[in-house]
Structure 1
């Protein structure tokens, strides 16, 4: 479970990190910001990956015991399926408490921290580099773009600069080549422009055109802005206790149905963990002949459907199309019903469940397909 969680978490963080680096290409401290953003994303991705990793680990462990005939020996000695699943149920209950902490407290604070860091990064100003084919607006008075740039963003080709002077007049500068250099104080950059022209207006408002071979222009590196609002402007930034308190309050800035949908959605995701052993143990036992892939696939589809139906229910509750209790509670009740049905129908004959028979059929179909493909390749 730890291995599956770690691998999935790293993959998701790497994918998001690449997008963040692209988004913050012009930030003055993009690597520091990306590290902070990635850390604040960990609780979000842990909440997503924990149920899937736990379910996959259960399938693998139970199937491995089944393949080694350990489960047959336990059942023959009088150990029931319920007793066999008991340790996994205890572990699931402990993980459910961990999930409540993650969903209820860590995610709200980390989501607000992520937004605060992202806001600061996006308003951190220009770092003195100009990415190719990107329009930079470090301030309201300065716009810079270039057609081509090297990997460091310091050697530019076909550059365009629009600046509003202190007197409020517009100044347009174009150049065939430019080199960007930071000043020693780190607060400004110097643009060493070559083969260009500058259009500006004098005090009488008359246009003046300047052509140059070499021209040096100094531009400021802008500073960072701060987050303006406090935590709690979004229901996803509220802890479980704050959500419960605000759903009972008569005066809330966020609609009550939205608060209820968020509260019930978090509880449903956390309380779904104790249901996973009821589903995974029979599927793991049914995988002795067909392998664990079909069981893991069916279970994964059920988990995915539960996750998206819960999100759909939250959306319907927020828009007032259905009560939050029904919109979020119905997917949880259906998922719980399937888990209990699979477990209790497998107690008399472990592994003999409707889903187990379906996975066997899927495994047989896959085997026949592979055999046919192998025969076609041989001929």
Structure 2
């Protein structure tokens, strides 16, 4: 009964925090992606494909925070409603109550390992591929309205208006130059791009316009009007996107292990692969420490409802993540062995968490952040007293 009750208390804030964190990260990125795609003249649909490729990366960041806050808020509720005191009075220790949180931590650590080890590398490669295709025009980026656009080396197009997602064009001007000195200038009311059997060629079908055809042998340029006219356009050849693994973030964990211990690779490349491998493993291993940290920060002092522990938990997790990123950068440069750069801070962080949990669980009246709680309470009372005195001093 107690395990099911704890599981329900943890599940709701865990899921809510995970969804909110992922949505906030995606919304922040979405604004920048819309700006990037608009500048490149690409279709809006590519934004959603790029965001979908970023979901695994944001989940790997949101899962530890969700796990931390889910356990912390659940035990904080137990502590503020005195249910935690009742459970301890009937013989349930903190170790017994941590059984369910560790079930959550183990399951989510396995999920996170699968994400950062195997899913995220492929998703990141897909994201970089979309960026490359968008910059190179391989996605069929729309023509920029009101600007002269180069189609190949010897053709220029200008469009006044665009409808139907860029498929229907109006107010067209086309200027084309041939290798033999021939030139063609075309104006048309409407136009549409059409696919052909040749993947390297498309047709610009023009309607209701005029064309001026000139060549070295002509005494005067020929002027013609037309109802329909097809203008073939040779697509430029696009270089294929690089193979996956050009960056360490695009390699799976087994690939990082092989790259980091392959004698034929340069020392710097091996250092980068080892640093990336240890960074991912440390991030996953840290999740197994979060239940202890959450409980240590969840229980406020007696007769106190301070939420300092919630704020401190987020600060500690974010700070430790930044320390790991800095350690990974040092290890990838070969300045320090990645094993030392990443696992020594992990050992220090684990020692701090164990001391905080031991103080709460095994010392009578122990409060690991008691001094900070008292300081924060005094500061809050001082602010309230100053605010109330200022209000009383004002004339009615």
Larger radius of gyration: 2
Q: How does 1:1-379 map to 2 (within 5 A)?
A: 1-25=14-38, 26-27=40-41, 29-31=43-45, 33-125=46-138, 129-131=142-144, 139=152, 141=154, 165-167=177-179, 181-183=191-193, 187=202, 225=238, 227-252=240-265, 255-286=269-300, 289-291=303-305, 293-347=307-361, 348-349=363-364, 352-353=367-368, 355-377=369-391, 379=394
Contact conserved, 2:53 with 2:124, CA < 8 A, in 1?
A: yes
Distance 1:294 1:57, change over 3 A: same
With the length of structure 2 as denominator, give the TM-score of the two structures. Answer: 0.74
Cα pair 2:286 2:346 within 8 Å, conserved: yes
- Alignment CA distance shift 1:89-1:185 (3 Å): closer
**SS in structure 2 opposite 1:103?**
helix
TM-score (ref. length: structure 1): 0.77
Secondary structure (helix, strand or coil) at the match of 2:289 reads helix
Pairwise CA distance, 1:302: 1.0
Separation of aligned partners in 2, 1:134 and 1:361? 63
Count residues in correspondence: 360
What secondary structure, in the 3-state scheme, does the structure 2 residue paired with 1:182 have?
A: strand
Query: Structure 1: 5+ residue runs without aligned partners?
Result: 193-197, 209-215
Q: What is the CA–CA distance in structure 2 between the aligned matches of 1:74 and 1:370, rounded to whole Å?
A: 35
- Structure 2 alignment gaps of length 5 or more: 1-13, 197-201, 222-228
CA distance in structure 1 between the aligned counterparts of 2:169 and 2:133, rounded to whole angstroms: 27
CA contact (8 A) 1:290 1:364 kept: no
CA contact (8 A) 2:50 2:127 kept: yes
Higher relative contact order at CA 8 Å, sep ≥6: structure 1 or structure 2?
1
State the distance in 2 between where 1:330 and 1:88 align. 25
